[in-house]
Amino acid sequence: MSHPAHNEEKLRKLREHGRLARSECGAAFCELVRPLVDAGVLAWERSAAGQRLAVRQTAPLRDFCRQQFPGEVPAGRHASPRVAGVARFRDSKALGATGAEIVTLRAWEDGGLTCQGRAVAVAQPSTDHGVFSFLLRPDTPYALAGRVALVENPAVFLAFEELGTGIPLAVHLHGRLSERLLHWLGDLPHERLEVVHFGDYDPVGLDDYRRLAEVLGGRAKLYRPDNLADLFRRYANPRLLAGTHSQTLLARLRRSLDPAIQQVASLIDTHNAGLEQEALLADGLRD
């Protein structure tokens, strides 16, 4: 449960029971209600060997709750977690993942995508319209088979065939690999699937490959062109390592026993920089 959902639940208990044990009031909740304590709407009072938060003025507390959490979960076909998050918390991400995910792919051969066990014609729509899309739901009838590329960034996805990999189907990740897509891939028959990850060669992109490999094992591959070291030398960017999160991920990745991760992590350390995957196409601009 997210912080907004936790806070809503605790405020509801306060309104219903008039009190809340100190043990239920975490730091984030205490910070939220601090103005109410300062104004005398709420007050800390003794309760046995500890403390509890007690309601002193019900009307201001009710108004505060309405201000923080404007409504209930809406009914109807638009009541996705994102819509409900805005309605209840003014935050589309408060309730986590959406009910469905749009999967966008490009294909140059049919057979890589099936629906209820039957091959879906995706090559011609990809040629005619640029992409093919479907909704990935928990009960999805769609499945992937054969060699598939997962591509992090749009520029490489839209020019994927220029890489000359021979992979017949590419899926756009729209950034990081989502948990929904990862779980879907993990539930597919592994003996019929090989997934090649095309991401940035930085801590975040490398960590996405790590997550994929943990689910798919040897069926997951990291795309590493023969000239990767030279691409690092010419195009690596130190700013891709900025921030505590990147440094924490990199420290974890250095301990990996996966040879692909070891190679890229070594290049990152050698250059003290990461490499955006668009570098795979950059040489074409120099011709």
Q: What is the pLDDT of residues 25-79, one digit of tens each?
A: 888 888 888 999 999 999 999 887 788 999 999 888 888 888 877 665 444 444 5
- What is the chain's length? 287
- Percentage of the chain with pLDDT > 90? 62
Distance between CA 29 and CA 155 in Å, rounded? 43
CB atoms within 10 A of CB 127: 12
Average pLDDT, the chain: 87
Contact 87, 73 (CB under 8 A): yes
Distance between CA 108 and CA 130 in Å, rounded? 11
| Angle in degrees, CA 107, 111, 116, rounded to 5 | 115
Q: Domain 3-68: which topology?
A: Arc Repressor Mutant, subunit A (1.10.10)
Task: Give the residue, 165 or 67, on which the prediction is more confident.
Answer: 165
CATH of 101-285, one of 1.10.10.60, 3.40.50.12780, 3.40.1360.10, 3.40.50.970: 3.40.1360.10
Could you give the residue range(s) of every CATH 1.10.10.10 domain in the chain? 3-68
Note the pLDDT tens digit of each residue in 186-218: 999 877 899 999 999 999 999 999 999 999 999
Task: Give the residue, 166 or 100, on which the prediction is more confident.
Answer: 166
Distance between CA 246 and CA 250 in Å, rounded? 6
Could you give the residue range(s) of every CATH 3.40.1360.10 domain in the chain? 101-285
Global confidence as pTM: 0.70
What is the torsional sign of CA 220, 246, 201, 266? negative
Note the pLDDT tens digit of each residue in 92-142: 555 455 567 899 999 999 999 999 999 999 999 999 999 999 999 888 999
